[in-house]
Structure 1
Amino acid sequence: MDPLDSSISLGAASEAAAAKEDVESPDALLPWARFSAWLECVCVVTFDLELGQAIELVYPLDAKLTEKEKTSICYLAFPDSYSGCLGDTQFSFRLRHSVGRGNRGTWYEDGDLYNRDAPVPLQKEQSHLYGYVYFRQVKDGSVKRGYFQKSLVLVSRLPFPQLFRALLQVVAPEYFEKQEPCLEAVCNEIDQWPAPAPGQVLTLPVMGVVIQVRIPSSDDKPGDSPVTPSPKENLLPAPIILPSPHEQDLFQCFQSMLIHVQMLWELMLLGEPIVVMAPSPTMCSETVLALVSSISPLKYCCDFRPYFTIHDSEFKEYTTRTQAPPNVILGVTNPFFIKTFQFWPHIIRLGDVKMAGDLPKQVKVKKLAKLKSLDTKPGIYTAYKTFLHKDKMLIKRLLKGIQKKRPCEVQSALLRRHLLELTQSFIIPLERYLASLMPLQRSISPWKTPPQIRPFSQEEFISTLEHAGPQLTSVLKGDWLGLYRRFFRSHNFDGWYRLRLREMTHKVESLHLEVTCDADLLAWTIEKSEVEIVDLILKLREKLLRARKQQLGVGEQLLERLERSIHTVINSLPNDLQALLHRH
């Protein structure tokens, strides 16, 4: 049987199974509900002689993309003409979501099950979409320009570059040969995938191949070895096993900047404006994503664009000289940007990695004034002075690893662990101080509103560093105090604090609800007026509703006990009030 026929019949079988499940399961009534848990849509972008880059196809056909988003995808789906990418090229981009676009699925920031269980840096955002691109440019005499130029783009809210890269490697070559029926079959298969559930190893079949991957969970301890899926014995052919859906090869991305890893980490921690200039969209997008992940498990709260072009709708916003550069990291390939961004404070200029003997040649830190000619050498153009000293032992270890031909995965793991420990050393004193702002558990009473969390005081925190600072967990010397003060002025601090404050508020509400569940409500009502009792009932019902919606971490048994207590209190009231409260 032709593989295309088999994939179409697979799609038809999937549709039949989906139709059956649609009848049986109320959760599956929305068309493409499972598909939209993974992808917003799939786009095919081609080169039209009259229109230039144009969207040839969007699938599913009812996918909701605004005209602005379609235009952005068109320009971001092709490498810049200066990149000279012949053959197949893969890269990724991120674009701002347009106001007023409708979603097929019902996804809300607080109610989304995936977001509830995913680590913060891997959560879906309402404000941005990711695009994962497979671009092919090959000579073709049957085309007027002499070249076949087309991109297959997966548009998703999930920050999973490694997973979607692997998926495109299976799907795109087949699609370029077989065209639209093949794409329809693939989308039908994705619509049968299990939901992206954090903490689970997922088996994802597509076009006769199976991809196995584990989605990280917020319960994972940072620094633990990732759980690698084990192939199932009955899977033939052997599955594609991904160690991670998202992690970049840090060593590959940073190999020409190893001696500056400390500087790169600080720039990312502080959310400084950075431009990454590289010869290809692959290199610039992977480097931007590697930089963003370098401060994990801290979420990078500024904007970042793995691939950015002069056609981007934010181009004017990011290149105006009337104000300071925005806090964003941009990956670019067009030499035009050298002049446009010469007033930016930090520019990383990358080239193809050159070797000095058996070691990759390390780029130098240079003054911004030198970034003028189009043939500028690779380097980090900045006047930034690091707060902390370099970890010379780490650099020696990595360089020795290159000489000993240590595998890239091992080198990347060493680098990732170092950056993780650095971030943890920085963040642990902040977490410890935050814990001291929580009210004491004994001060929480069921008869009073939940006590307030004390406000964050920068000076009070700074005073704790002498006895509980990063020196307890890190050997790195330097001006940690200065680094914290600068961090307090960054978007990353603001984002981190807002998130933690929300989590702490939920915790206080949970503790208050637990105390209320255990309280004797009926005894409390004896000396209270009917107005006070009704007020309490309404407040408790609202709390129950919020607890079940937000899932505050209060056990269902406790919530059921509270519900019974509310009923007991209602039943102690006069009949007319009982009837009114039971109706509402």
Structure 2
Amino acid sequence: MASQGSEGLEEQLEEPEDTLRVSPAEEMPVEGPPALEEPEQEPLLLPWDRFSSWLHCICVVGFDLELGQAVEVIYPHHSRLTEKEKTSICYLSFPDSNSGCLGDTQFCFRFRQAAGSKSSLGCFLDHFDRDAPVCLKRDQGYYYGYVYFRQVRDKTLKRGYFQKSLVLISKLPYVTFFHSLLKLIAPEYFEKQEPFLEAACNDIDRWPTPCPGKILTLPIMGVVMKLRIPTCYDKPGTSQLVQSAPSDSLVSIVLPTVHEVDLFRCFHPVFFHIQMLWELVLLSEALVVMAPSPAESSDTVLALVSCISPLRYCSDFRPYFTIHDSEFKEYTTRTQAPPSVILGVTNPFFAKTLQHWPHIIRIGDMKQAGEMAKQMKVKKLKNLKTLDSKPGVYTAYKPFLNKDEDIIKQLQKGVQQKRPSAAQNAILRRYFLELTQSFIIPLERYVASLMPLQKSISPWKSPPQLRPFNQEEFMKTLEKAGPQLTSRLKGDWIGLYRQFLRSPNFDGWFRNRRKEMMQKLEALHLEALCEEDLQLRIQKHTEVETVDLVLKLKEKLTQAEKDQLPVKPGTLPKLQAHIESIILTLPEDLQGILHKPPSP
């Protein structure tokens, strides 16, 4: 992207004068916030707790000639899945029959968690989510399925083929990590069956928990994987490559990333439209990806979702979607506008049923992505009627921003010069990051200005409220502090912002920022309380008022621990000491009552 460099981006993140500052994730130091102390949870772990922090369960899905797909094994055996969840896993674990996936295939799917079903260790994992980037937080209402599907000829079977999938079910969107794990354990499982699976699960249950920011060493069936889960304090765009040390002689695999897909390979078939696709994803537009296989479908959908990073994509997305999905009717009805969702499909049937969708991406075989695709114009939707439609983007969408020819030329040159794929991917990822940062920085600046002044925080009053987000007021700031400061791209930026402010992505982003800022205000309020001479204060209080103060302080302390407020180190112990000293000034009978833990 034509950009004035990272210095320009960073300058835009300076806070307005006299305003409380809540740092956006882009500027936080890599080490993480010194104010947050990691909870000592490890000693409390029970059998299968460590396993459950990574995976909900592992399923084996086989094909039965009479029954069709069926879940043959769920491990550990105590894992719970509803019948609806099992049905979803069955259909999503097998490629459509037309995909022709002979041999081994890996792909990913995502499905709704059934109402009333519980995933393991929800509360226990909350503190890991606190430090994770928004795109790597656990998916509250969904599960991911990571599939290793094997289809080989077998004359001993009626159907003539062996067809089976090993599927990892998890709340974590660590696509690269789980696919790497499956490459290690799935081929062995197909040879050695369930005893091997049991041994692998026991290895996983000895792993450290998935804590962001730590270098993790994970032994699995004689192989050792080494990786680092990013944190929300890492500077976006910096490499998270774990360096090998001399002591790593036993480490077999070092993963450079736990979640990133190869953007260049995924976008290659629709290469000339990457900027328009970024806009469509940013605005949460209804998108369908038609691909020849589940692997290409799921990789492309995951690439689309990640192209607006570090923004979180807040609408639904299905890396692989089939006609058996419980949402099929909801998504294919013509009586209402398509929902805000990105679907990845392989069945040609969708070319007909989703013709009314506004944006359709049709991709060819990615194995032929060695040569640069020919220049493709955006095609009209009416041209999609035939099943053998050519690859391309079918839409009537008119982008808000002018096309950036520089990135196209840069990557074309890379192809001609046989630049390594990893370098091409890094260039494209950096381009998307700078484009997203140029877009989001004006919003960050404006939202920071909604914070009250620090001098308005009084320990004896409730924390002050944020000012509401005013769309027109924000639009006026763009003239002097808009994306033109960090991006040379021209176009209708104002129109793009107006559309974005109506999207689920804005709603999700603003809710998250508002929550962070409210917590910052609560933390500052607590710190102000701790600096007060409470003993002097209570001398003017009646006994009833003192008891009331103790109860309120205890409630604040409990809430601060529950919400993991970003307070300075030592603040909460100091507040606890204040509470204890105030209780000691009261009569003994009241001391006994106030020292009792609150009822659950």
Residues 1:249 and 1:583: Cα distance change in structure 2 (over 3 Å): closer
Residues 1:355 and 1:80: Cα distance change in structure 2 (over 3 Å): closer
Residue number in structure 1 paired with 2:327:
314
Q: Say whether 1:184 aligns with 2:191.
A: no
* Structure 2 CA distance for aligned equivalents of residues 357 and 539 of structure 1: 65
Residue number in structure 1 paired with 2:110:
94
Q: Say whether 1:140 aligns with 2:122.
A: no
Match 1:61 to one of 65, 77, 81: 77
CA positional deviation for 1:241: 1.6
SS in 1 for 2:570: helix
Residue number in structure 2 paired with 1:77:
93
Residue number in structure 1 paired with 2:129:
115
Residue number in structure 2 paired with 1:20:
none
Alignment deviations for residues 109-146 of structure 1 (CA, whole Å, 9 cap, x no partner): 9x612101110110002200000001111110110111
* Structure 2 CA distance for aligned equivalents of residues 278 and 57 of structure 1: 30
* Structure 1 CA distance for aligned equivalents of residues 189 and 590 of structure 2: 67
Q: Runs of at least 4 residues of structure 1 off by over 6 A?
A: 354-357
CA positional deviation for 1:389: 1.1
CA contact (8 A) 2:351 2:385 kept: yes
Residue number in structure 1 paired with 2:223:
209
Residues 1:355 and 1:572: Cα distance change in structure 2 (over 3 Å): closer
Residue number in structure 2 paired with 1:9:
none
* Structure 1 CA distance for aligned equivalents of residues 272 and 118 of structure 2: 46
* Structure 2 CA distance for aligned equivalents of residues 163 and 582 of structure 1: 47
Q: Say whether 1:259 aligns with 2:272.
A: yes
CA contact (8 A) 1:257 1:362 kept: no
Residues 1:326 and 1:509: Cα distance change in structure 2 (over 3 Å): same
Residue number in structure 1 paired with 2:578:
565
Alignment deviations for residues 227-273 of structure 1 (CA, whole Å, 9 cap, x no partner): 3331554534x511211011000000011222111101000000000
> Residue type of the partner of 1:350?
I
> Residue type of the partner of 1:246?
H
Residue number in structure 2 paired with 1:194:
208
Match 2:302 to one of 289, 294, 316: 289
Match 2:171 to one of 153, 157, 176: 157
CA positional deviation for 1:537: 1.4
* Structure 2 CA distance for aligned equivalents of residues 98 and 316 of structure 1: 17
CA contact (8 A) 2:265 2:369 kept: no
Match 1:445 to one of 442, 458, 470: 458
Q: Say whether 1:129 aligns with 2:146.
A: no
Choose 518-527 or 239-248, whichever is displaced more: 518-527
Residue number in structure 2 paired with 1:28:
45
Residues 1:214 and 1:354: Cα distance change in structure 2 (over 3 Å): closer
CA positional deviation for 1:556: 4.7
> Residue type of the partner of 2:277?
L
CA contact (8 A) 2:269 2:369 kept: no
Alignment of 1:473-552 (within 5 A): 473-552=486-565
CA contact (8 A) 1:355 1:361 kept: no
CA positional deviation for 1:194: 1.1
* Structure 2 CA distance for aligned equivalents of residues 25 and 270 of structure 1: 41
> Residue type of the partner of 1:49?
L
CA positional deviation for 1:370: 1.2
CA positional deviation for 1:554: 1.8
Alignment of 1:386-465 (within 5 A): 386-465=399-478
SS in 1 for 2:295: helix
Q: Say whether 1:383 aligns with 2:383.
A: no
CA contact (8 A) 2:286 2:339 kept: yes
> Residue type of the partner of 2:442?
P
* Structure 2 CA distance for aligned equivalents of residues 570 and 184 of structure 1: 54
CA contact (8 A) 1:93 1:285 kept: yes
CA positional deviation for 1:353: 5.0
* Structure 1 CA distance for aligned equivalents of residues 249 and 52 of structure 2: 26
Residue number in structure 1 paired with 2:243:
229
* Structure 2 CA distance for aligned equivalents of residues 430 and 42 of structure 1: 42
CA positional deviation for 1:202: 1.4
* Structure 2 CA distance for aligned equivalents of residues 99 and 363 of structure 1: 44
* Structure 2 CA distance for aligned equivalents of residues 363 and 53 of structure 1: 39
C-alpha RMSD of the superposition: 1.8
SS in 1 for 2:412: helix
CA positional deviation for 1:574: 4.0
Alignment deviations for residues 134-174 of structure 1 (CA, whole Å, 9 cap, x no partner): 11111101101110111110111110111111111111111
CA contact (8 A) 1:276 1:288 kept: yes
CA positional deviation for 1:362: 4.1
Residue number in structure 1 paired with 2:31:
none
CA contact (8 A) 2:269 2:391 kept: no
> Residue type of the partner of 2:539?
I
* Structure 2 CA distance for aligned equivalents of residues 231 and 203 of structure 1: 12
CA contact (8 A) 1:41 1:63 kept: yes
Q: Say whether 1:365 aligns with 2:381.
A: no
* Structure 1 CA distance for aligned equivalents of residues 118 and 367 of structure 2: 48
SS in 1 for 2:393: strand
CA contact (8 A) 1:256 1:353 kept: yes
SS in 1 for 2:186: helix
> Residue type of the partner of 1:57?
V
* Structure 2 CA distance for aligned equivalents of residues 200 and 26 of structure 1: 18
Choose 224-233 or 407-416, whichever is displaced more: 224-233
Choose 494-503 or 523-532, whichever is displaced more: 523-532
* Structure 2 CA distance for aligned equivalents of residues 150 and 355 of structure 1: 27
CA positional deviation for 1:404: 0.2
CA contact (8 A) 1:289 1:306 kept: yes
Residue number in structure 1 paired with 2:6:
none
CA positional deviation for 1:374: 1.1
CA contact (8 A) 1:44 1:152 kept: yes
SS in 1 for 2:260: coil
* Structure 2 CA distance for aligned equivalents of residues 134 and 515 of structure 1: 55
Choose 212-221 or 407-416, whichever is displaced more: 212-221
* Structure 1 CA distance for aligned equivalents of residues 244 and 370 of structure 2: 39
* Structure 1 CA distance for aligned equivalents of residues 189 and 163 of structure 2: 13
> Residue type of the partner of 2:74?
V
Residue number in structure 1 paired with 2:57:
41
CA positional deviation for 1:334: 0.2
Q: Say whether 1:241 aligns with 2:254.
A: yes
SS in 2 for 1:58: strand
* Structure 1 CA distance for aligned equivalents of residues 104 and 297 of structure 2: 16
> Residue type of the partner of 2:223?
V
CA positional deviation for 1:549: 2.1
Residue number in structure 1 paired with 2:344:
331
Residue number in structure 2 paired with 1:172:
186
CA contact (8 A) 2:372 2:415 kept: yes
CA positional deviation for 1:332: 0.2
CA positional deviation for 1:401: 0.2
* Structure 2 CA distance for aligned equivalents of residues 116 and 352 of structure 1: 39
Alignment deviations for residues 428-466 of structure 1 (CA, whole Å, 9 cap, x no partner): 110111111001111100111111110100111101111
* Structure 1 CA distance for aligned equivalents of residues 389 and 417 of structure 2: 32
> Residue type of the partner of 1:37?
S
CA contact (8 A) 1:132 1:164 kept: yes
CA positional deviation for 1:528: 2.9
CA contact (8 A) 1:270 1:490 kept: yes
